[in-house]
Amino acid sequence: MQEATAKPADAGGADHGGRVNTVAALRDTGITVLLAFGLFLPLIGFKTETNIRNELILTTRWALLFSIVAVIGGFRLLYSFVLHPWLERRRLRPMAATVPAWRSFAGRWFVPFAIGFVICYPAIVIGTAGWGGALKWVDNFGIQILIYVMLGWGLNIVVGLAGLLDLGYVAFYAVGAYAYGLLASNFGFSFWILLPLAGVMSAFWGILLGFPVLRLRSDYLALVTLAFGEIIRIILINFVDLTNGYAGISGIPRPSFFGIPFSADDDGFAAVFGLEFSPVYRTIFLYYLILGLAFLTAFVTVRLRRLPVGRAWEALREDEIACRSLGINTTNTKLTAFSIGAMFAGFAGSFFAARQGFISPESFTFLESATILSIVVLGGMGSQIGIAIAAIVMIGGTEIMRELNFLKQIFGDSFDPTQYRMLLFGFAMVVIMIFRPRGLVSTRTPSVFLRERKVIASDLVGQGHG
């Protein structure tokens, strides 16, 4: 709720010339401080704690309450006297007619550079952090972010291309993970057999769950998919005979390097290639595996957009009624979008199970669905680069909170930055939506064009009806 200061509804304090009206600015600051005080009084001013006799008692935190209110008041003053006049002056300045040279250069070389960077990433990390430190950076940042990039690109097919709002996407991720976990630990099938199988199963579930909801639109569709996602999770929790309930499935076999396991044995990866054993090899292998899967998702999406089915998805997003009157079978179009999106979630799910070696229903909560959908929307629906950037910002941002131990020196030892991760995540979602409602990347590249390929503003792309 701190954004009380960041975004005042009526920009008092400065008129359009950028001059500051001191009285109005001070008045607004006073109101903001009062509101912030009222807002934070119950939950920051008082803290409920359990004492030794297991009773709830109250303690007060006046110092914290007043410092938070003071910080908010300070921000409001800063906004009124510095930021707002500056924004007003910038708004009045005439817009440059041509794109600056560095921007078109950056726009042109960004994608090849980014691809080169992610391919070299493990080598860069090992070079800078050494073999010991590299594990964390490749695993927590590289693999974790790439899983979300892949999920975002998979959901992009459903939400960004076909315009169908899906809040239960994590269900298909769970189907893929459990398909791999159960089949690998019970029957000992290899990862490379189960990867496509998990995709097929998830796609099947996509059709199964997609079929009843075809008639629904927008928010209603979102809520039914949310309901399906939750039902699947509750079944995973309670169907103990199959899924082992809350305890989850552990000891899931890890993928091998084309038959060579990553173990310290004589026939392990390190021994076969004459290297010293290190757990980093497996992590690097998993990194390239998920990188390959993510590239596969992106490549398939790009190719599908040029096929009739991809064109039909985007047409459906722009205008469903026009689609129907032109003879496009909307049922099949929606179902293919659902099932192909679900298939990629299934791939990602089986990779997730193989990487963790352990899965439980806890990993497939609604929060995951919300995270994936927010990555798609925050990045800019339909823009694959945007989705990748959003995944890096949101997932990398929350992961980096784990590394900010120097904050303990400022706020004292009891301060734990990790517990603020999701708080800031939610806050960032609100802020990005307010300032960039169409996502971080504000341009789209249509797959159909007259004469020359052009970049268009994201406002011109339809929002979808489903």
Which residues of this protein are in contact with another protein, per CB under 8 A? Answer: 1, 3-4, 7, 9, 35, 38-39, 41-44, 46-50, 55-58, 165, 212-213, 215-216, 218-220, 222-224, 226-228, 230-231, 234-235, 237-238, 321, 366-367, 370, 373-374, 377-378, 381, 419-420, 422-423, 425-430, 433-434, 437-438, 459, 463
- Nearest CB to another protein, comparing residues 197 and 223: 223
In terms of CB distance, is 293 or 378 closer to another protein?
378
Closer by beta carbon to another protein, 62 or else 273: 62
Q: With respect to another protein, which residue has the nearer C-beta, 218 or 445?
A: 218
What are the percentages of helix, strand and coil residues in the chain, rounded to 5? 70, 5, 25
Smallest distance, another protein to C-beta of residue 164, A = 12
Nearest distance, CB of residue 234 and another protein, angstroms: 5
Shortest distance in whole angstroms from residue 382 CB to another protein: 12
**Contact between residue 138 and residue 284 where contact means Cβ atoms under 8 Å apart:** yes
The residue among 46 and 110 lying less far from another protein, judged by its C-beta, is: 46
| d(C-alpha 55, C-alpha 48), whole Å | 10
Nearer to another protein, 201 or 372 (CB): 372
CB 84 within 8 A of CB 60: no
Q: What CA–CA distance (Å, rounded) separates 151 from 211?
A: 22
- How far apart CA 378 and CA 3 sit, in angstroms, is 18
Residue whose C-alpha is closest to residue 1's, from 29, 38, 31: 38
The tally of CA atoms less than 13 A away on the side-chain side of residue 56 is 3
Q: Which of 424, 115, 97 is nearest to 298 (CA)?
A: 115
- For residue 170, the minimal CB distance to another protein (Å) is 14
Q: How far is the CB of 322 from another protein (least distance, A)?
A: 9
Give the nearer residue to another protein in terms of CB position, either 67 or 238.
Answer: 238
Cα-based angle 147, 315, 339 (whole degrees, multiple of 5): 40
Smallest gap from residue 350 Cβ to another protein (A): 26
Residue with tokens 């390959």: 292
Q: Which residues of 51-75 are buried (b: 16+ CB within 10 A; e: fewer)?
A: eeeeeeeeeeeeeebeebbeebbeb
Residue 306 CB, shortest distance to another protein, in Å, is: 26
Residues 6+ apart with CB under 8 A from 15: 21
DSSP β-bridge partners for residue 48: 58
**CA–CA separation, 282 and 134 (whole Å):** 12
Q: How far is the CB of 253 from another protein (least distance, A)?
A: 30
- Rounded to whole angstroms, the Cα distance separating 298 from 34 reads 50
Residue placing its CB nearer to another protein in the complex, 129 or 428: 428
